[in-house]
Amino acid sequence: MKVLVFTSKWIGLNLLDTLFSKFNDDEYLFIVSEPDSETIIESIKIHGHQYKLLNDETISWIESQRKDDFDWLLNLWGGYLFSEKLISRAKRSLNIHPSYLPYGRGRDSVVWAIRYKQPAGVTLHQITENIDEGGIYFQEKVNYNFPISGERLYSRVIQTCLKVFNEKWPLIRSEQNFNFLDSSEFINKVYSRKDLLEDNLINLNKDKYARELFLRIMAHDYGDDYNLKILNDNKLFSLRLDIKEVTKEINNE
């Protein structure tokens, strides 16, 4: 089987373990990008496969190949937006996305799951020109309860990504006529990194309500006996602050 794989980051490196441990005899071409490209390339070389760096020349070369030249196109944390021309160079395609689609389309999906009380999870789906819209091969929810930090939920979701791909890729890879899951819901919002950067800054100079709330939390930060309490769904939680100044240029306009 001839497989084109876009990959990056330590998560992509871990996902490659499934390919190398179970299907190392497949003919792979890996398209590698930052971060962690050197470590990924080292692993690819050890397992005896070919790679190219992600750049305009590489994309032009792929698009110059015959239609359906590859059996599969896999996006394993590659972070690349695919054109229809490139997608057509493979008979089938699969992307692993760290959300329970259609929720959390685009980037930083764990943030938006917590922020808007939406389901979290993992989805294996077809690659299309429209971001995270392709037919769904498989989904798995990652359950979480209040309170949970973005960091903790992200860790759970990533571990589920690794597990789901390891379990389901062998089944999807060999299935010729796949019955896609029904995705009757459609959410048009696609999140970008700009959305995250705008949402993770609370400007106390402008937001009077946020300022009053923040001062209230600080005023009651005295330890377990006297710190601020939060009542949610008939459960009581205590709140402590961890505040430190960061060296970063902030636009206060």
Do 125 and 222 fall within a single domain?
A: no
Residues β-bridged to residue 187 = none
Residues 139 and 241 in one domain: no
Question: Is the same domain home to 45 and 121?
Answer: yes
pLDDT of 200-248, one tens digit each?
A: 999 999 999 999 999 999 999 987 788 899 999 999 999 888 889 987 6
Q: Checking DSSP bridges between strand 121-125 and strand 90-97, what pairing results, if any?
A: antiparallel
The conformation of residue 92, written as its DSSP 8-state character, comes to E
Number of folded domains in the chain? 2
Question: Which domain, by its residues, includes 237?
Answer: 201-253
120 and 213 assigned to the same domain: no
- Tell me which residues of the chain have a pLDDT lower than 70: 182-186, 248-253
Cβ neighbors of 89 (< 8 A, separation 6 or more) are: 4, 62, 63, 65, 66, 67, 68, 69, 70, 73
User: Do residue 170 and residue 235 come from a single domain?
Assistant: no
Q: Do 107 and 225 have their domain in common?
A: no
Q: Is the pTM of this model over 0.85?
A: yes
162 and 206 together in one domain: no
Residue 209 shares a structural domain with residue 233:
yes
Q: How many CB atoms lie within 10 A of CB 114?
A: 18
pLDDT given for residue 250 in this prediction: 57
Q: What CATH number has the domain bearing residue 40?
A: 3.40.50.170
- 86 and 36 within one domain: yes
Indicate if 152 and 166 belong to the same structural domain: yes
